[in-house]
Structure 1
Amino acid sequence: MLTDLEIKTTAKWISEVQLRNGLIPWYSGGHIDPWNHIEAVIALGMAGFDESAIKGVDSLFSLQNRDGSFCHYYLTNGVKEPNRDPNVISYCALGLLALHSCIENLDVERYFPFVERALDYVVMYQRDDGSFPMMITPEGLCHPKSLLAGSCSILNSLEAGSFLAGIVDIEKPEWKRAHESLGDFIYSSDSRVVADKSSWAMDWYYPYLANIPRFGGQGLGLGPHREIGRFFVSGSGVRCISGRDWFTAAETAEASIAFSLSGMNEAATEIFWTTNRFRGEDGSYLTGLVYPSQASYPHEERSTYTAAAVIIANDVISSGIFGSLGEFFIERWLRRHHR
């Protein structure tokens, strides 16, 4: 696992990419999306960079639209992609819980109204079958399909949001109902509704990040080992897309989290160690490598969300906590606050 110095070095690199206004782009000069920004903020909090993390939270909520949503992508001078992604919008709930599990004096009551508006917006678009559209236009028009990985991430965010509501003593039973309905939908895996992204690694491991087996998950009983051969190559990492020799550090780190949360720590550690191939001396991580040439792709791109995923994976694997990612941060909060 990473040493304390290695964690601090990577977090320092992320903080150096962070803009003065607190936003964290994909890379220096790159665009910003709220989901990956939150991922980087979580990592900063885990590494003890409290001031940078809180600055990141403040900057995120400054972008929130009046209806509680966030746009998909931002530039330093405005909006790049105005459509709304329910997964991106809801992730602020998991981010706030994660930070509160790291920063004891974080003012949750101050930030909760932002999370409440975000989750209320998302839940408003839940369909009768429990699914969420993969994209919503600013006018409220919904894409007919859902995403499996995105749905699993929303599930974690709803779980985190419900726990946060309990912390601030606010009743949000509709979030719990939305969580149960979405879990049942993911379990059913209705191919008519879910976009086929089965060749992407995220659709392999995300059901385990959300602990979908607790809903009965068809074919999920064997855990993430079920399709490991399609994506993981020992010594190289996790393929972003099966059948292609493009290995990405973020997917490798996230897959290691899925194995760890499933109680498969030995496999999780083996997968995690391959992220070292992507690490630079400054603590940054290449987004991806192509084999057998080991050329970086995109060329020499070192991304903040990739570095963040590695820090988070290191924390999860070291914790010994099993379940969903939402359950992980709940247990992490309980341990910190001695509940």
Structure 2
Amino acid sequence: MSNVASGRSLADWELAPAVDYIERVQRSDGLIPWYPDGPADPWDHVESAMGLSVADRHEAARRAYRWIADAQHEDGSLWATYGETDGDDGAHAGDEPRKETHRSAYVAVGVWHHYLCTGDRAFLETLWPTVRDALEFACAQQAATGEIYWTVGADGEVYEDALVAGCASIYKSLACGAAIAAELGHTDARERWLAARADLGAAIRERPDRFDRTWESKSRYAMDWFYPVLCGVLGGEPARQRLEAGMDRYLEEGLGCRCVADEPWVTVAESCELVVSLAAVGEAERAREIYEWLFQWTDDEGVFWTGYQFEDEEFWPGERPTWTGGAAVLAADALSGLSGAADLFTDPLPERE
């Protein structure tokens, strides 16, 4: 295991305000919008719920996962986004209704994470059909060359192109789904998802031509740089080399990680994910140093802003996303061993067993 505990607690990291904010923004039906009365998306919803699990806000986390089970379509998908509402009534798909594979599949990571935090087997069994159907939806969009297509339109048409970061996220989702299947004795599903994961990993590592074929390359985004490490597609020396190769391009000393290489903007969530990626390759000291920079980007209550525009010297955009707080809690967990899920990203499962 590459996690190196520092002996610090959630309180020591001063993360209670971030967790309180997530729980305060969560709606009564369980959905966690980006900010009060704002939009939501399933991936960031799960990221926020994971923060709740680490902080022992288990009932709030369970409500978040029940929301996914209730909202899931018959084909296992979710809408990519859910529009702004005035309350719990009237939640609707965003302005461009589509079903993104990585956003639908990420529930598997959240459910396994919550189980590692709680040992709640009844929860795992209850959410199994949701996880199963979500991963089957994603696998149904896998190309013969291994990549998993980005999205399915509201009309059922598949958009036959793939995202590096999105596919890396699905790679992690398949690993967690396989772990859930093993725990519950669903051997066929486990073997099917491990095979799909192996093909997907090979595509990410060896077939760059299969990504960003119909749109401008996303390689300027930091997520494309570190997500293959964060999600376990790369490990060991190749992972360390990949991170080292991008440091000059993405990391702003004393500030954090740029969201986009050519924009003067560091973001807390991407910085936290870089922290976890560094911890995964054994660079815990460097990871902790970067993490400690990020607490300058909080408001007076201790809630994280999205990020900081360092040319204009202002917080931008002027929002405090719930998922940013979730990412901060997960980074603290990876560094300090706060929960039973602390090694989820720093000790990835093998591709085949």
| Cα distance in 1, alignment partners of residues 125 and 9 from structure 2 | 34
Of 248, 251, 255, the match for 1:229: 248
| Cα distance in 2, alignment partners of residues 165 and 36 from structure 1 | 24
TM-score by length of 1: 0.90
1:10/1:55 CA distance change after superposition, 3 Å: same
- In the alignment, structure 1 residue 286 sits paired with structure 2 residue 301: no
| Cα distance in 2, alignment partners of residues 277 and 295 from structure 1 | 12
Of 328, 338, 352, the match for 1:310: 328
1:156 is matched by which residue type in structure 2?
K
- In the alignment, structure 1 residue 203 sits paired with structure 2 residue 224: yes
Of 91, 99, 102, the match for 2:117: 102
Shift of 1:221: 5.4
Q: Secondary structure at the match of 1:271?
A: helix
Shift of 1:324: 7.1
* Larger relative contact order (CA 8 Å, sep ≥ 6): 2
Match of 2:155 in 1: 139
Q: How does 1:177-326 map to 2 (within 5 A)?
A: 177-194=195-212, 196-214=217-235, 220=239, 222-298=241-317, 300-319=318-337, 325=345
- In the alignment, structure 1 residue 14 sits paired with structure 2 residue 22: yes
Q: Secondary structure at the match of 1:280?
A: coil
Shift of 1:244: 1.4
Q: Secondary structure at the match of 2:40?
A: coil
Shift of 1:83: 0.4
- In the alignment, structure 1 residue 84 sits paired with structure 2 residue 137: no
Contact 1:284–1:307 (CA under 8 A) maintained in structure 2: yes
Q: Deviations over 1:217-239 (max 9, x none)?
A: 6xx55141111110111111111
Contact 1:152–1:186 (CA under 8 A) maintained in structure 2: yes
Q: Secondary structure at the match of 1:74?
A: coil
| Cα distance in 1, alignment partners of residues 131 and 9 from structure 2 | 33
Contact 1:43–1:308 (CA under 8 A) maintained in structure 2: yes
| Cα distance in 2, alignment partners of residues 9 and 61 from structure 1 | 28
1:324/1:143 CA distance change after superposition, 3 Å: farther
Shift of 1:160: 0.3
Q: How does 1:49-88 map to 2 (within 5 A)?
A: 49-75=57-83, 76=85, 77=90, 78-80=92-94, 81-88=96-103
Shift of 1:326: 8.1
| Cα distance in 2, alignment partners of residues 102 and 89 from structure 1 | 22
User: Once structures 1 and 2 are overlaid, which stretch shifts more, 104-113 or 82-91?
Assistant: 104-113
Shift of 1:322: 10
Match of 2:170 in 1: 154
Contact 1:22–1:59 (CA under 8 A) maintained in structure 2: yes
Shift of 1:60: 1.7
Give 5+ residue unaligned stretches, structure 1: 332-339
- In the alignment, structure 1 residue 130 sits paired with structure 2 residue 150: no
Contact 1:246–1:289 (CA under 8 A) maintained in structure 2: yes
TM-score by length of 2: 0.87
1:283/1:3 CA distance change after superposition, 3 Å: farther
Contact 1:211–1:323 (CA under 8 A) maintained in structure 2: no
Q: Secondary structure at the match of 2:118?
A: coil
Q: What root-mean-square deviation, in Å, do the aligned CA atoms of Structure 1 and Structure 2 show?
A: 2.3
Q: Deviations over 1:263-283 (max 9, x none)?
A: 111111121112112122323
| Cα distance in 2, alignment partners of residues 131 and 192 from structure 1 | 7
Q: Secondary structure at the match of 1:289?
A: strand
| Cα distance in 2, alignment partners of residues 200 and 248 from structure 1 | 12
Q: How does 1:20-39 map to 2 (within 5 A)?
A: 20-39=28-47
2:285 is matched by which residue type in structure 1?
E
| Cα distance in 2, alignment partners of residues 215 and 142 from structure 1 | 35
User: Once structures 1 and 2 are overlaid, which stretch shifts more, 249-258 or 136-145?
Assistant: 136-145
Aligned length: 327
| Cα distance in 2, alignment partners of residues 309 and 192 from structure 1 | 29
Structure 1 stretches of 4+ with a deviation exceeding 3 A read: 192-195, 214-217, 319-324
Contact 1:145–1:194 (CA under 8 A) maintained in structure 2: yes
Contact 2:272–2:328 (CA under 8 A) maintained in structure 1: yes
1:134 is matched by which residue type in structure 2?
W
1:7/1:84 CA distance change after superposition, 3 Å: same
2:111 is matched by which residue type in structure 1?
L
1:178 is matched by which residue type in structure 2?
A
Contact 2:235–2:281 (CA under 8 A) maintained in structure 1: no
| Cα distance in 1, alignment partners of residues 186 and 133 from structure 2 | 13
| Cα distance in 2, alignment partners of residues 42 and 323 from structure 1 | 13
Contact 1:245–1:291 (CA under 8 A) maintained in structure 2: yes
